[in-house]
Structure 1
Amino acid sequence: MTTALITHIDCLRHRTPDGHPEQIARLEHVLAALNGKTLERFEAPMGSEDDLRLVHPQSHIERVRSAEPDEGIVQLDADTWMSPGSFDAAMRGVGGALKGVDLVLGGEVDNAFVATRPPGHHAETERTMGFCLFGTAAIAARHAMERHGLSRVAVVDFDVHHGNGTQDLLWSEKRSLFVSSHQFPLWPGTGTADERGAHGNVLNLPLDPASDGATKRRAYEEKVFPALETFAPELLILSAGFDAHRDDPLAELQWDESDFTWLTGRLCDLADAHCKGRVVSCMEGGYNLEALARCAAVHVDVLIERGG
């Protein structure tokens, strides 16, 4: 079978202020890096309010929808902005992640990469945060549980920033295992090892600033992979942030492309062992444009190799 690439032009219509790290060029660079690769390409459908209500209350949905301006850009919080088209862009991200779950669980593709923006892993139950409007990965996990009947879904977040939103949204969901590796201390300041979830279903892996890929590999081998083996997920969802790269301007971890290649391969090994190779990867952070493009490319190369 094949690897799906799911994206939509609407995600290029979400604008932020000049100089903002979460810029249109991020997605443009990633799509250019994936051009010519052997991928089955799909347009991300529009998510629905029913999809959002899997994790967010209606009040949050209305608050975000009503904040979108008719022109210009508006600031929702310290880091998060909206322009005309931002709501649709976020809904394409949600719809794209759910499309990936449907394709993979339906056996139409082996795995999927969802290349959309804005990212989603910082959006909490009733709070936009950190460039994010809705909790895309958590919505995809709940979609797999509620609509496909899965009883064990793992979300692994290797963005350099803690996935506080996904943690919040899945905190009480005993059918999930949420794993986040991230630099600590670093914004948003959450993600300590003692944050364990209502059912012991959260595993945080804080990494010291300036730690390298070898440190990350040891930590994953010692803590993350055993936890995933025990949990034995039926589906693996990745929050694929590439800002742990040494060239990223927003953090200090010292990973390089080989570290993302290794991590993607090892996660695919676990997916092969427990969930028929079923992986849905959703793009999160990465703010050095060239490093982001290279890392996304090697990540997808592994998905293609393992899905072939």
Structure 2
Amino acid sequence: MSATITNVHGTKWMEELKIMCDSAEAKLAMNGKELQRPEINRGPDHEAPKKLHEGDLYLCAESLEALEGALGAVCEAVDSVFVNNGPKRAFVAIRPPGHHCSASYPSGFCWLNNVHVGIMHGILSHGLTHAAIIDFDLHHGDGSQSIAWQHNSRGVGLSKNAAWWKKTSIGYFSLHDINSYPCEMGDEEKVKNASLCIDNAHGQNIWNVHLESWKSEAEFWKLYENKYSVLLEKTRKFLKEQTERLRAANQNAKAAIFFSAGFDASEWESSGMQRHKVNVPTEFYARIARDVTKIAEEEVD
């Protein structure tokens, strides 16, 4: 199995997911319990596996093919940006989504973390040294933040002889609604994680900003300029500091920005999705894309 995937998700979860996909059709035909976790050797110190949430996860006979296609599309997009004189930007429209999936636990319709697999592909295949994830969505990307934290933690204090990919750095910067999933039930740990702000400490660069309600577009753009744009400032700072650190050590720096783009905070979403009365106007998506493109161009320069 490709290290691009196992460096993010390990081997045990990938083994388990394949078994579940391969047996999904037969289980659905029998009793509809395709999410029952298989009995596999998870190691002597491994706790009993958590039950998967049936409300927002499901599998069928073609699920593995769909997952492989999604990851393949992400990796192909990364290749197109880094190979020869190709485009400097790529957009990948894929399902299933990924930002709720942690290293070994799926949730929120997400079985694998697409954006982290894309970053790892950039690291292993194109020498990426650091990457920033900008995640805009109604919901906090708890899985993406967790993987970034674990990756960065492993990189602190490594020996000179450690695998170079473990020394890379990933920043996570998110705009979301603190009252929506996964925080809707008020779980203390989830709310704290979705509110975490840490700036270049303990190897971490993570910044979360919460959406607010607005009554006019003028009011929204004031929020954008005075509150939401801090994500742009933190992204710029992270990229600059990592580049300067590497160059000071006479190492090459190669960075990328990955959008984890969710559109369920749109003002045109269903009333059920907007039950907490926060959203963004359509122009937000074009504006943040332009602003992040400027940051990417600064990094190239």
| Shorter-chain TM-score above 0.5 | yes
Show the counterpart of 1:271. Answer: 296
Distance verdict in 2 for CA 1:144–1:101, change over 3 Å: same
Q: CA deviation at 1:149?
A: 1.7
The answer to whether structure 1 residue 246 and structure 2 residue 267 are counterparts is yes
Retained in 2: the 8 A contact 1:232–1:274? yes
Bigger Cα displacement from structure 2, 127-136 vs 172-181:
172-181
The answer to whether structure 1 residue 135 and structure 2 residue 113 are counterparts is yes
Retained in 2: the 8 A contact 1:184–1:209? no
User: For 1:226 and 1:170, how far apart are their aligned partners in 2?
Assistant: 19
- Within the candidate set 213, 218, 226, 2:226 is matched to 218
SS of the aligned residue for 1:111 comes to coil
The amino acid that maps onto 1:142 is M
Pairing 1:88-167 to 2, within 5 Å after superposition: 88-106=65-83, 107-167=85-145
Q: CA deviation at 1:49?
A: 4.0
Show the counterpart of 2:162. Answer: none
The amino acid that maps onto 2:11 is Q
User: For 1:248 and 1:198, how far apart are their aligned partners in 2?
Assistant: 38
Show the counterpart of 2:252. Answer: none
Distance verdict in 2 for CA 1:83–1:210, change over 3 Å: farther
User: For 1:91 and 1:164, how far apart are their aligned partners in 2?
Assistant: 22
Structure 1 stretches of 4+ with a deviation exceeding 4 A read 209-212
The answer to whether structure 1 residue 231 and structure 2 residue 238 are counterparts is yes
Q: CA deviation at 1:200?
A: 2.6
The amino acid that maps onto 1:187 is Y
Show the counterpart of 2:173. Answer: 179
User: For 1:273 and 1:50, how far apart are their aligned partners in 2?
Assistant: 31
The answer to whether structure 1 residue 54 and structure 2 residue 56 are counterparts is no
Show the counterpart of 1:5. Answer: none
> Which of the two has higher C-alpha Rg?
2
Bigger Cα displacement from structure 2, 205-214 vs 176-185:
205-214
Q: CA deviation at 1:217?
A: 4.2
The answer to whether structure 1 residue 256 and structure 2 residue 290 are counterparts is no
Deviation digits for residues 192-217 of structure 1 (CA, Å, limit 9, x no counterpart):
33354852321111223568742244
Q: CA deviation at 1:146?
A: 3.0
Distance verdict in 2 for CA 1:274–1:239, change over 3 Å: same
The amino acid that maps onto 2:18 is R
Distance verdict in 2 for CA 1:209–1:57, change over 3 Å: farther
Distance verdict in 2 for CA 1:50–1:117, change over 3 Å: same
What TM-score do the two structures reach when normalised by structure 1?
0.68
Indicate the percent of aligned positions where both proteins have the same amino acid: 23
Structure 2: segments with no counterpart, 5+ residues = 36-51, 153-168, 184-189, 241-254
Q: Which has the higher contact order (CA 8 A, sep 6+)?
A: 1
User: For 1:198 and 1:146, how far apart are their aligned partners in 2?
Assistant: 24
User: For 1:238 and 1:217, how far apart are their aligned partners in 2?
Assistant: 19
